[in-house]
Structure 1
Amino acid sequence: MRIRTPVTDLLGIDLPVVQAGMSWVSSASALPLAVSRAGGLGVVAAGPMRIPDLSRVIDEMEHGTDQPFAVNLPLYRRGVDEVMDLLVARRPRVLIASQGGPRRYLARFRDAGTICLHVVAGVEHAVKAAEAGVDGLVVVGAEAGGHPAPDQVSTLVVVRAVAAAVPELPVIASGGFADGAGLAAALAIGAGAVQFGTRFLLSAEANVHRAYQDAVLRAGITDTRLVGRGLGPVRALANEFAERMVKLEDSGADLDARRAEFTRSTLRMAAYDGDVVHGKVEAGQSAGLIDSVLPAGEIVRRIAEEYVATVDRLPRPD
């Protein structure tokens, strides 16, 4: 099956399904390989990876599929310049950059022939990225896990606003999507694809502790918290860490006290060690829409089939 959009044309993929670059979860080849082989865009998360490990995973991706894949690079990570040197030399088809400005990397990757997508969470940054010359945007709304925008504008609103502000750029919507009905909704408001995070977190190939998956699988749509305002907020499941942060924020604790608590807990504690009580169990509100762990290729296939079924059910004008 093919579903053609401006994003699929830009990236050379069959389906407008992008697997989010999630630290630990896709910091290995199994998940992105499965997604790319199924016709979507698999994304390697370079955020927590050492350079030799990243180079090895890129080798595995290149040997494992002839379909496009991407590398996600948070620009705030330690040693980012060395990582960029490696990626420029390896020339991945697609770079998805986040947490920084595009002028820092754009010229180098453009010269290497890499398609550059930039993650934004509002119209102002979308316009600046467009003016800098990026090839497309990933637009993240409040429902997303990980690092959504602190202003908490919903995905449906921010994607519609960005699509209207920069109509020349392909847009990938991210935050709150779990199935083909969500894909249909995103395409209807001007996106050309959807980035699915939590749905692929709950895949058989996710490089994450099973306790993390079990906690997300049990969650409902109201079981996440946005915590860490002023510190680079994250959306994570309600647990002892998140509730302590909520109490500190509600009581007006000073920034240093909140920072100490916020940095004491890490994503690695939950994703790698399986400590879902004290770690940052990052997940989106869409966790409450998902009730199974499936092979990633099956997830891609189901999203495409659900999209077609959703469109067929929509009322037609008389």
Structure 2
Amino acid sequence: MKRNHTPRNHTPRTSTPRTRTRRTLAAAVLAVATAVGLSACMPPGYYGASGTVDNGDQKSMHVVVFNGWDEDTAASYLWKHVLEQKGYDVQLTNSDVAPAYTGLASGDYDVVFDTWLPNTHKEYMDTYGKDLTDLGAWNEQASLELAVPEYSDVDSIDELKAHASEFGNKIIGIEPAAGETKVVSDQVIPQYGLDGMDFITSSTPAMLADLKASIAKKEDVVVTLWRPHWAYDAFPIKDLKDPKGALGKNEEIHTIAKKDFEQDFPQASKWMEDFSMDSDTLYSLENALVNSGAKASEYPAITEKWASEHQDFVDSLTSGK
């Protein structure tokens, strides 16, 4: 910034009205030129009210993304692309499930796109629900599953116990804090008498790597999985029947926001309330991002390319209310 200062031993010269007029006019011209130059470099909506975009929403949005939940990665990068085209600044932060809900309840995060209801994330909604806003379901085709390769002779969970040795006496799970992990450990294993099998939990990428390696060797493996997930397009796998209903009924994937989200983002909240994405469309974006071998730093460019190939769908996300 240029500072106005008077040199030492300098006697100020009195400005005449004409001099002041010239200076005022020059300053005005400079201000206009600067504004025009800056506006060419700024995203749409930048010149709304301070800290807002043109529709009145807060400009900055902080999205939390569950580690290892690929549908969450896809939905979050999709909305980051859509909102940034509208002039928002969108930050994505990866987190495990438990601290993500703590951060939403405290207002450190604004929104998450991957809450499974009524079962998987029930515990978190029971704990933090009074400090959260449910913007509704965007996918109603969700379900928790135990999956095996298509060539496996086992077709139902109630057959696993008798064939446990064929699976190395192991069930390969995902993150220890995941809702599905709790459902499998608290419901599936005791109801089907699978206590003799080791329930291995680590991470979703580790589970998928184990699944891929086992299929490459034509070995039996049983993993905790869920629909929608790109693995169903990528691998020859099948879901085990669940005659006891231990995994719960089909679920919905909800967008959950902090308590005052609708006050800070009245327009975006309406868009997200109307958000809907079927599983085939979701698989397509998941495959492009997560199953492509790309680095996370490449995800924005991949999402932009995917969006250009699905422009009608992308435009529909903000064409309603």
Does the TM-score normalized on the shorter chain lie above 0.5? no
TM-score (norm 2): 0.32
Structure number with the bigger relative contact order (C-alpha 8 A, sep ≥ 6) is 2
TM-score (norm 1): 0.32
